[in-house]
Structure 1
Amino acid sequence: MDIVVEFEGEGSGTAELTWGQRDVWDLMRRTGRTMNIGGTVPAAPGETVAHLAELLRFIVSRHQALRTRLVPVDGGPPRQRVHASGAIGLELVEAGPDPEVTAEALRVRYQTRHFDPFGEWPVRMGVVLDGETPTHVVLMYYHVIIDGFGIDAIVRDLAHLGVAAAPVAGVRPLELAALQQEPAALRQSEKALRYWERQLDRVPAVPHPAAADPGHGEPRHWEVVCESPALALAVRAVAARTGLASGPILLAGYAVALARVTGSPTAVVQIVVNNRFRPGFGEAVTSLRQFGLCAIDVGMPFDEIAARAWAATLGAYKHGYFDGTAATRDLEAWSCYLNDRRRGTDETGGEAPTPEAIRAARAAGNLHWGGREDTYDGTFYLHVEDEPGRIVYTMWGDTHRYTPAAIEQCARDLETAVIDAALAPATVDA
């Protein structure tokens, strides 16, 4: 059952896809993945369907991205069209005997079903009801239109619910599409692409081996999941010694692991760049996420690898805003990715953990196989998640290029590299 929620907002018109939108559109076309983003939250005490319907009306009315549908173009990528008004459904689902199970089933349905970008609004919202009482709210977004940092901006903007006159912060999709056609943005794009070329020119392409049995009858891409309290402590220890943040330390561990599995003296990693640090982009509700390139030499003490990872990260962020359709280099040989999804990490600061504490924490770690999918992006894809008291990461590997054993070892080597560096700083890695 649906409730129809009418909306009306400021701004309408048609424009080209922005650079971030086009990146995700091409990725989805290439892999066939839905890439829908969102999740489930328990309903607040006293929550009502009427209030949730008003919340849906508010976010769609207020944000151009959520009033956007794509327009097909013969022989080319679609364009985006922002509508001034319309109506969207709020789905109501009976909780049944177990509201959490019902909410998870709704989330999976929203997650796995492709959006119709030409006929569906880019947000799905469902409410699980126990009688008339909401127990859970499920929200899912079409990733071409908005990225995870854009969702964060929507959440922050909920402070203006009921204050219709409050101005909307951050660049809007139509404005961004126009800005990216201006000379300053095109110069930025050309500069970024030249940087990518320089980095790749110094890196020898390492042919990926075929797996021992690529026809094993299983889905091609396998996931390894690592839950590691020891890694969280080790990162803090290395951070206390080097003064580096946790991100480049984890990137250094990933670089060591990739170098070991590929045999290359230089690890090439494409990292997710949110681009919200650019002027006017901080509160943007749109898709600004693109990739930045890190080429990191290994075969030296870990602290130096971590310092190089930090410098590479700065370069990647500076040159992670560009028109990907203008790129001339085939990146297939360097398709290893890192998506650090953490917000407000706590792995740094305070006293450095002792070696005894790190060693003791290793016994509490857990590494196991996770999901398997026919399509994914890249040879290796590392995701790092928020978890109190531990670091949780998932590594997807392509079994048509590396054996499952090699993929598992790569995941283990990341953890081992950082822990060994914390316990024996003089160790030379890779």
Structure 2
Amino acid sequence: MAEPVVAAAEAGAGAGVGADAGTASGSAGRTVTEETVTVEFGGDRDGRAPLTWGQRAIWHAIRRTAPNDHYFNIGRVLPLADRGRPATVAEAVQALGGLMGRHEALRTRLELTADGQDADAGGRTDAGQRLAATGRLPVTLAHAQDPADAERTAHALLDRLSATRFAYTSEWPVRAALVAVGDRVTHAVLVLCHLAADGHGAEVLVRDLRLLVRRGSAGRPPAATPLDLAREQHGDAGRRRGAAALAHWEAGYRAAPATMFPEPVAAPRTPRFWTGRIVSPALARAVAAVATAHRVSGSTVLLTAAAVLVAAGQGHRTAAVMPIVGNRTAAGHRDLVTTLSQDGLFVLDLAAAGTPEPSFTDLLPAAYRSALRSYRAAVYDPVEWDALGERLRTERGAEVHPYCCFNDMRLVERPAPPGPAPTAAELVELGGRTVFGFPATQERVACRYCLHITEEGDALAVSLTADTAYLPPETIRAHLYGIEELVVTSAAGRSPLLAGVRELLETAGKART
């Protein structure tokens, strides 16, 4: 492996993405000085391969979202002063070089056709990937005055490095920064191109970088590599698996409405896409309680709640939602840094409960089975998926796409705490701590309804990014409060009847204004 080299930025040279040379503004009028360090790295091999199916899927999404595709950048801040032996700048730089050598995805760039396109005249995808054996990575090194200033500086660097789209064919798919107080590194910042990693892959990188800084080694390298996976998927066995998955998609498409949001209902806002966010301790407790009581996963509870509200709100009897599936059940893929996530297709008939007056929780067994089928059929070639959609569009005379996405971004679900389930009174008290807001807007997202689940302390954070022509801001708010009310009421022992869900959606959250 090549030794990393530290090189101070030349006077007048850029000191990081969008930074003035040499200095940057700190908090309370302080000055944070910056320089560029260059990390030289090396690996065992180079090579070319087609894109994996996960890479093809995110590349299609990037192209649909451009020029706002910085939306897909994945950022992490790694504190390094919290415990363990302090790391010097030289040691942190050495660790970054080791990380680049360990994970081939970080040394791999997009490769297009000679004319810069990713498909030929017949629509065949020619985009591929090129792995480099060696290279040099520029890293921003920021010098803060004290630990509090270092924390603020790290998050400012994260925002700055995340704010621009990657140059996919020429830039390494990782941007990195280090924050130091004196000669001790307090934070590392990583911003990843989604072609190189998904959320799980980002956590693998954070774990390995911590080990490389603390111990000088992260253990054995991953058993699989993106290039080998691409070659496997494009072989005969991969094509057979992909065909079986797409058979599930075709059956689901035929059972569901062409789209969940067929008609605009309002003039779009400017910017067009708004993100609403609810942070709810009550929802966290309620999801765990409902999942335990009905022997399903918490993710299934949330997916079912979202699907029921979307279907009821649009007057559909069948819901179609596209959950993002991690595709990491194979042992060799658990530590693989690449983009394995792909869309699944979850289809739920609201009559599947099979009872005369079904409630929300009556649907959970059928929803769980549907979710499992969705996860199994989430590995396929996006080019063939596009062809299926086009064939059905021609057949039905309308575009076939749910435009309704669900992404549970938690790596693990917290189990229900020991002891009895929360009482109705406890849930009411927790509900008083719910916080709602509209933290972001943007001009373009290639969907109409995108729900994201994360954790924030002891609360669940649920974000909904939606097209305001189909879901105006007040409807975004109602859907988020509706998820909370549907699940919390069920955990309190009063599972809402499906016949009343549309009315619930119309009133959700209005008492909290």
Fold agreement, TM-score > 0.5: yes
Change in CA separation of 1:78 and 1:70 when aligned onto 2, cut-off 3 Å: same
Is 2:310 the partner of 1:252?
A: no
Measure the CA separation in 2 of the matches of 1:406 and 1:323: 35
Measure the CA separation in 1 of the matches of 2:411 and 2:161: 24
| Correspondence for 2:227 | 174
Tell me which amino acid in the other structure corresponds to 1:70.
L
Measure the CA separation in 2 of the matches of 1:204 and 1:117: 36
| Correspondence for 1:18 | 52
| Correspondence for 1:386 | 455
2:316 is matched with which residue: 239, 251, 264?
264
Which of 238-247 and 95-104 deviates more? 95-104
Which of 366-375 and 338-347 deviates more? 338-347
Describe how 1:11-410 pairs up with structure 2 within 5 A. Answer: 11-32=45-66, 33-34=69-70, 35-44=72-81, 46-73=86-113, 74=115, 75=117, 76=119, 77-95=126-144, 98-158=149-209, 159=211, 162-163=216-217, 167-205=220-258, 206=260, 208-214=262-268, 216=269, 218-298=270-350, 300-327=358-385, 328-329=388-389, 333-350=401-418, 351-410=420-479
Change in CA separation of 1:96 and 1:374 when aligned onto 2, cut-off 3 Å: farther
Measure the CA separation in 1 of the matches of 2:220 and 2:291: 40
* 1:232-274 residue CA offsets vs partner (Å, 9 max, x unmatched): 2221331232122211111111112212322211221111111
Q: Is the 8 A contact 1:68 1:122 kept in 2?
A: yes
Q: Is the 8 A contact 1:153 1:285 kept in 2?
A: yes
Report the Cα offset of residue 78 of structure 1. 2.6
Tell me which amino acid in the other structure corresponds to 2:239.
L
Tell me which amino acid in the other structure corresponds to 1:132.
D
Change in CA separation of 1:347 and 1:229 when aligned onto 2, cut-off 3 Å: farther
Which of 416-425 and 88-97 deviates more? 88-97
Report the Cα offset of residue 332 of structure 1. 5.6
Which of 302-311 and 18-27 deviates more? 302-311
Measure the CA separation in 2 of the matches of 1:279 and 1:336: 30
Change in CA separation of 1:307 and 1:6 when aligned onto 2, cut-off 3 Å: same
Measure the CA separation in 2 of the matches of 1:380 and 1:184: 34
Report the Cα offset of residue 67 of structure 1. 0.9
Percent identical:
33
Tell me which amino acid in the other structure corresponds to 1:324.
P
Tell me which amino acid in the other structure corresponds to 1:15.
A
Q: Is the 8 A contact 1:341 1:383 kept in 2?
A: yes
Report the Cα offset of residue 13 of structure 1. 0.4
* 1:396-429 residue CA offsets vs partner (Å, 9 max, x unmatched): 1111222222222112211111112222445312
Tell me which amino acid in the other structure corresponds to 1:388.
G
| TM-score (ref. length: structure 1) | 0.93
Q: How many residues align?
A: 427
Backbone CA RMSD of aligned residues: 2.0
Corresponding residue SS for 1:386 = strand
Report the Cα offset of residue 163 of structure 1. 4.5
Is 2:415 the partner of 1:415?
A: no
Measure the CA separation in 2 of the matches of 1:211 and 1:313: 30
Measure the CA separation in 2 of the matches of 1:404 and 1:265: 24
Q: Is the 8 A contact 2:95 2:216 kept in 1?
A: no
Measure the CA separation in 2 of the matches of 1:61 and 1:312: 41
| Correspondence for 2:43 | 9
Tell me which amino acid in the other structure corresponds to 1:194.
A
Tell me which amino acid in the other structure corresponds to 2:73.
N
Change in CA separation of 1:150 and 1:269 when aligned onto 2, cut-off 3 Å: same
| Correspondence for 2:22 | none
Measure the CA separation in 1 of the matches of 2:204 and 2:459: 26
Report the Cα offset of residue 278 of structure 1. 2.4
* 1:123-151 residue CA offsets vs partner (Å, 9 max, x unmatched): 11101233433332211111112112122
Is the radius of gyration larger for structure 1 or structure 2?
2
Report the Cα offset of residue 286 of structure 1. 1.3
Measure the CA separation in 2 of the matches of 1:376 and 1:197: 25
In structure 1, stretches of 5+ residues that fail to align are none
Q: Is the 8 A contact 2:422 2:492 kept in 1?
A: no
Measure the CA separation in 1 of the matches of 2:233 and 2:433: 49
Change in CA separation of 1:347 and 1:363 when aligned onto 2, cut-off 3 Å: farther
* 1:322-376 residue CA offsets vs partner (Å, 9 max, x unmatched): 1011021157640111111113322525221112211221111122222111112
Which of 328-337 and 34-43 deviates more? 328-337
Q: Is the 8 A contact 1:257 1:410 kept in 2?
A: yes
| Correspondence for 2:27 | none
**Which structure's relative contact order is higher, taking Cα pairs within 8 Å and 6+ residues apart?**
1
In structure 2, stretches of 5+ residues that fail to align are 1-34, 120-125, 352-357, 391-398, 502-513
Report the Cα offset of residue 152 of structure 1. 2.4
Measure the CA separation in 2 of the matches of 1:287 and 1:163: 24
Corresponding residue SS for 2:333 = coil
Q: Is the 8 A contact 2:77 2:187 kept in 1?
A: yes
